[in-house]
Amino acid sequence: MTKRIILSGLVFFSLYASAQEPSDALRYSRFAPVGTARSMAIGGALTALGGDISSTHVNPAGIALFKTNEFVLSPGFNLSNNKSNYLGTSDKANESAFNFGTSGFIIANPSSGRSNWKNFSYAVTANRTANFNNRVVYNGTNNQSSYSEKYLEELIGDRVTNPNAAAVDYPFGSSLAFNTFLIEPDLNASGDATGYFSLATPQTGLKQEQVIETTGGVSTISFAASGNLNDKFYLGGSFNWDILRYRRNQTFKESDATNNTSNDFGYFTVEDVLETEGTGVNLKLGMIFKPVEYLRFGLAVHTPSWFEFRDTYNTTVTTDLEGYAGPGTLKQSSSDILGQVGEYIYNFSNPWRFMGGVAYVIREVQDVTKQRGFLTADVEYVTYTSPRFSDPNDQTGNYFDQLNSTISDIYKSAINVRIGGELKFNTIMVRGGFGYFSNPYKDPELNGKRMNISGGLGYRNKGKFIDLTYMHQILNDGFYPYRLNDNFFAPVGMTGSLGSVMLTVGFKF
C-alpha cells in the first residue's frame, strides 16, 4: 500500500511540480557552452578548429592537433539576473556562484618511423557542462483561476468519493490541500463526496507569487583519444562520465487580494523540495579534414547521456483560513502522511547532437608562432523531442509513456549557431564570439531563445599561457506555474542575463 501511494504521489508530483516549468527533460538537455576561457571567448565554435583541450567536449578529433603535452586549469564565476513578467506584473532576482571550465591534461605522442599516422593524442579532462544555480521570483494578481483548482481536478478527475481516500492517496498534492481544509468536499447524506470546492475564490482577486531557488550542476569527466593521419584527417572520440546534482526549493503563495478578514481565506503556501542525484555516460565522436593548410572542416556527433537518477522530494502545504477550521494556521507535509520523504529511482536519456563546422586559419603554418589568427563557425542540431524517461522496474504503468509523448508534443528540435575569431599580436591574442540558440518550445506563448556574446584576451609565451574571458548570455524563457484542464492559466515570461567570467592558466610540458 505504501509503495502504491508513493508511486501515485510521484506521478502527481511530476505532473504538477516538474512539468509546469521548463521540464526536467529540457533542464538536463540544454547546456550553455562551457570550456576554457579561450573556447568560451570564441563562442564555443571548436568543431572544425580544434587545438584546444575543450575539444574533448565538442569534437575530440581536435586534440590530435596537439604536438606537445599540456596541462590546463580553468576556474570561473557566474552572475545571473532574472526578470519575470506574470499577469502584467514584473519582478527580478539575482544569483551568483563559482564555476569551473575545462581542466586537465593532454598527452601527445608523435609516431615513429614512416607511419601515415603522424601522432596520437590522449586527454583526461573535467568540465562543468551545466550550472543550475539560479533564483527566480515572480508575482501577479489573478481573478480568473486559483492554483488550488489543480487539486480539485485531481480528485474530480479520479472520481474520488471517499473522503478517506482524498486524505491519504495524494500525499504530494490533493491530500495536503484536503487535510488543511484548502479544498472541501460536498457530502451527501451517506457521507460520500459528490464534488469538491476551494476556499480560494479568484473572483475577488488572488495574489500569486513564487520563489524558485536551484543549485547544483553537471560535472563531466572525459577520456579522449585521437589520431592525426598525414596532417589531413584528424579522427577522435571520447568517453564521458556525467555526474549530476540538482536541488530545487520552490514556494508558491496565493493570498486574498482584498482586505476582507472574514471570507474564510487568508493565504496558502505550497513548498516543494526536490533533490536529484545521478550519473550518466555518453560518447562523442568526430573528425576534422584539412584539405589545405589554412582551411579546416569538422563533423561531430554526441550520443545521448544515459542517466540513472535518484529523486528525493517533499511537499508541504500551509493554510490560513481566517478561523474556518479553527484559529491559526494549518500545516501538513507529504512525509506526515507517508512517514518518510518520497524517493524514486529512474532512468533518463537526453538528446542527440550533430555538429558541423568550418575554420579558416590566417597564415596556417607548422610554426604556430607565425599564425596570425582564425575565423571559425559551427552549426549544431539538437533533438529536443527525443529525451526519454523510463522505469527500470516498470512500476509506474504507462505514466512514463505519457510523459515521453508530452515531451515530443511540447518541444521541437533546434538549430544553434556559434561563431568566433582570434587575432594574434606576437604573444597577445584578442578574441570574440557569438552564439545563437533557437527556441526549443512549440508553444508560441513560450520563447526560449538565447544569445551569447563573448570576448577575451590571451597571453602565450615560452610554453606558458593565461586566458581571460567574459561571456554575456541573453536569456529568454518561460513556464507555467500550473496548468488546468478546464480553466484559465497563464505563463511566466522570463528575460535576463547570465554573466560568466573564466580564467584559464596552463603550461606545456
Whether residue 309 is contained in a domain is answered as no
* Per-residue pLDDT, 11: 41
Nearest to 123 by CA among 167, 57, 205: 57
Q: Is the dihedral of CA 27, 28, 29, 32 positive or negative?
A: positive
Distance CA 36, CA 55 (A): 10
Using alpha carbons, select from 159, 45, 146, 80 the residue that is nearest to residue 434.
45
For residue 86, give Cα distances in angstroms to 6, 143, 163, 211, 482: 33, 13, 35, 13, 12
> Hey, is 337 helix, strand or coil?
helix
pLDDT tens string 199-254: 999 988 999 999 999 999 999 999 999 999 999 999 999 999 999 999 999 999 99
Angle (CA) 317 266 182, round 5°: 40
- What does the DSSP 8-state code read for residue 417? E
Contact of 374 with 361, CB cutoff 8 Å:
yes
Q: Which of 497, 498, 499, 490 is nearest to 85 (CA)?
A: 490
| pLDDT for 25 | 87
- For residue 22, the model assigns a pLDDT of 38
Taking 70 as the pLDDT cut, the residues of the chain under it are: 1-22, 364-371, 394-397
DSSP letters along 129-171, please?
EEE--EEEEEEEEESS--TTHHHHHHHHHTT---HHHHHHS-T
CA-to-CA dists, residue 145 to 259, 415, 421, 485, angstroms: 19, 37, 51, 11
Q: CA-CA distance, 104 to 86, in Å (whole number)? A: 44
**For residue 234, what are the β-bridge partners?**
228, 288
Q: Which residues sit opposite 249 in a β-bridge?
A: 213, 273
- Strand locations in 230-372, DSSP E? 233-256, 267-292, 295-302, 306-320, 330-333, 342-349, 353-362
Give the whole-angstrom CA distance, residue 395 versus residue 10. 11
**DSSP bridge partners of 135:** 213
- b/e map 38-64, b = 16+ CB within 10 Å: bbbbbbbbbbbbbbbbbbbbbbbbbbb
Q: Is residue 39 part of a domain?
A: yes
The reply to whether 343 falls in a domain is no
Q: Is residue 327 part of a domain?
A: no
Angle at Cα 219 formed by Cα 215 and Cα 223, nearest 5°? 175
Grid coordinates representing 506?
596552463
Provide φ and ψ at 365, rounded to 5°.
Answer: -140, 165
- Euclidean distance between CA atoms 28 and 351, whole angstroms: 9
Give the cell for residue 460.
602565450
pLDDT of residue 396: 58
d(Cα 379, Cα 358) in Å, to the nearest integer? Answer: 9
Q: Write down the number of H helices and E strands in the chain.
A: 8, 23
C-alpha distances out from residue 150 to 13, 306, 375, 428, 488, Å: 12, 33, 53, 60, 11
The answer to whether residues 64 and 75 touch, using CB atoms and an 8 Å cutoff, is: no
- The domain tally of the chain equals 1
Of the candidates 183, 226, 173, 244, the one whose C-alpha atom is nearest the C-alpha of residue 31 is: 244
Residue among 420, 297, 286, 295 nearest 354 (CA): 286
* Alpha-carbon gap, residue 14 to 172, rounded angstroms: 10
Residue 290 lies in a domain: yes
Q: Distance (Å, rounded) from C-alpha 365 to C-alpha 360?
A: 12
pLDDT (0 to 100) of residue 435: 96
The CATH number that applies at residue 400 is 2.40.160.60
Q: Look at residue 19 in the predicted model and tell me its pLDDT.
A: 32
Q: Which domain range does residue 122 map to?
A: 22-143+220-262+270-304+350-508
- The model carries a pTM of 0.86
User: Shortest CA distance to 312 belongs to which of 332, 338, 331?
Assistant: 338
Contact 137, 84 (CB under 8 A): yes
Coil/strand/helix, residue 232: coil
Q: What are phi and psi of 146, to 5 degrees?
A: -125, 145
405 contact partners, CB below 8 Å, separation of at least 6: none
